[in-house]
């Protein structure tokens, strides 16, 4: 089994001591469980439940983009801004393990009450700018999916997770059919709307909550990367979703723009059985060959 770096592993005693130090700097220090989205604080004798994570930000239910889940998926640290009314907070999140359980340690500082902010207002603007820049480095601005630049980084974390926990790492290359004709016949604005619709649909079913992520790989190509126990079930799930998706865009004049996909699937275990080292490139190459075979045969169904 993979052993996480020491900085991520804490006994309860070590964690309690670190939190005591952090509380001297931050307004609030808490733990968030990534799966249940519940928050906790460190008491004298144990970890004490506080309530839903989003309650601190006056939200009910899960956030559209769950920062703690992203931190756990990438085994990393991150920072973000949160606002409640006119109050602004910076949140620093860190992946940890304590008592054999994964958590996100959140350190929260209110910026709007800091004495120096009135004299140096540019600091808040700079934090926002850096946060926006970080999003641009990771996300495709049109669809909100991860971009190709960030795909390999996330893939490495998912590959490690699969190898350490006896899971399979599956990939589906989702390629739109005749997308150029949509742009030529209806214009790029409609083409962009089609891509946004597709990206938003697939992201509902493949995100960190489902141990997956989706990348906009090229103009009309999306790549789904997912941890799974069974490759056949993964392919069946992809095929069922493809069949259920509404594949048209309604125009203002009442006409519809139809579209379809050809999908190629591959998985880590078959590469290993062939003596090929699983990487983002080798898994993508296999999925790409199967997608291309489907294009050639005229079969837009999922190809495994």
- Does the pLDDT of residue 3 top 70, yes or no? no
Both 23 and 163 in one domain: the answer is: no
- The predicted-structure confidence for 210-258, as pLDDT tens digits, reads as follows 889 999 998 899 999 999 999 999 999 999 999 998 888 888 787 888 9
pLDDT tens by residue, 10-23: 889 889 988 888 88
Pair 39, 173 in one domain: no
pLDDT of residue 4: 41
Return the HEC string of the chain. CCCCCHHHEECHHHHHHHHHHHCCCCCEEEEEECCCCEEEEECCCCEEEEEEHHHHHCCCCCCCCCHHHHHHHHCCEEEEEEEECCEEEEEEEEEEEECCEEEEEEEEEECCCCHHHCCCCHHHHHHHHHHHHHHHHHECCCCCCEEHHHHHHHHHHHHHHHHHCCCEEEEEEEEECCHHHHHHHHCHHHHHHHHHHHHHHHHHHCCHHHCEEEEECCCCEEEEEEEECCHHHHHHHHHHHHHHCCCEEECCCCCEEECCEEEEEEEHHHHHHCCCCCCHHHHHHHHHHHHHHHHHHCCCCEEC
User: How many domains, in total, are found in the chain?
Assistant: 2
pLDDT of residue 246: 84
29 is in which domain, residue-wise? Answer: 6-138
The percent of residues above 70 in pLDDT, for the chain, comes to 86
| pLDDT tens digits, 29-51 | 999 998 888 999 988 888 999 99
Q: Write down the pLDDT at residue 116.
A: 46
* pLDDT given at position 119: 47
User: Is residue 1 in some structural domain?
Assistant: no
The confidence score (pLDDT) of residue 223 equals 97
Q: Are residues 102 and 180 in the same domain?
A: no
More confidently predicted of 298 and 263: 263
Last residue of a domain, one of 104, 138, 172: 138
This prediction has a pTM of 0.64
- For residues 125 and 160, membership in a common domain is answered with no
Q: What is the mean pLDDT of residues 90-99?
A: 88
Between residues 126 and 268, the one the model is more confident about: 268
Give residue 302's pLDDT: 57
Predicted pLDDT at 264: 95
For residues 84 and 159, state if they share a domain.
no
- Distances in Å between the Cα of 152 and the Cα atoms of 16, 71, 194 are 35, 16, 26
Task: Give pLDDT, residue 241.
Answer: 94
For residues 190 and 107, state if they share a domain. Answer: no
- The reported pLDDT for the residue numbered 62 is 63
């Amino acid at each position: 089994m993979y052993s996480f770096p020491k900085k991520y592993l804490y006994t309860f005693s070590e964690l309690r001591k670190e939190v005591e130090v952090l509380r001297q700097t931050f307004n609030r220090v808490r733990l968030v469980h990534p799966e249940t989205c519940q928050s906790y604080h460190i008491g004298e004798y144990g970890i004490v439940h506080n309530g839903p994570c989003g309650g601190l930000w006056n939200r009910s239910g899960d956030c559209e983009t769950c920062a703690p889940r992203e931190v756990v998926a990438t085994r990393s640290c991150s920072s973000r801004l949160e606002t409640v009314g006119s109050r602004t907070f910076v949140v620093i999140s860190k992946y940890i393990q304590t008592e054999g359980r994964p958590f996100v340690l959140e350190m929260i500082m209110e910026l709007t009450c800091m004495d120096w902010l009135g004299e140096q207002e540019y600091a808040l603007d700079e934090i926002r700018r850096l946060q926006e820049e970080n999003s641009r480095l990771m996300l495709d601005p049109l669809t909100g999916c991860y971009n190709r630049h960030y795909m390999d980084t996330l893939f490495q974390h998912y590959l490690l997770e699969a190898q350490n926990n006896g899971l399979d790492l599956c990939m589906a290359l989702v390629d739109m059919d005749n997308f150029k004709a949509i742009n030529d016949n209806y214009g790029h604005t409609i083409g962009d709307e089609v891509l946004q619709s597709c990206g938003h649909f697939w992201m509902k079913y493949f995100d960190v909550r489902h141990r997956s992520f989706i990348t906009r790989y090229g103009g009309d190509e999306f790549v789904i990367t997912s941890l799974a126990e069974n490759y056949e079930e993964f392919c069946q799930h992809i095929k069922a979703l493809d069949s259920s998706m509404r594949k048209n865009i309604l125009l203002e004049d009442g006409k519809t723009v139809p579209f379809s996909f050809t999908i190629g699937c591959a998985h880590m275990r078959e590469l290993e059985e062939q003596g090929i080292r699983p990487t983002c490139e080798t898994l993508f190459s296999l999925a790409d060959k199967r997608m291309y075979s489907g294009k050639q045969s005229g079969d837009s169904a999922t190809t495994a």
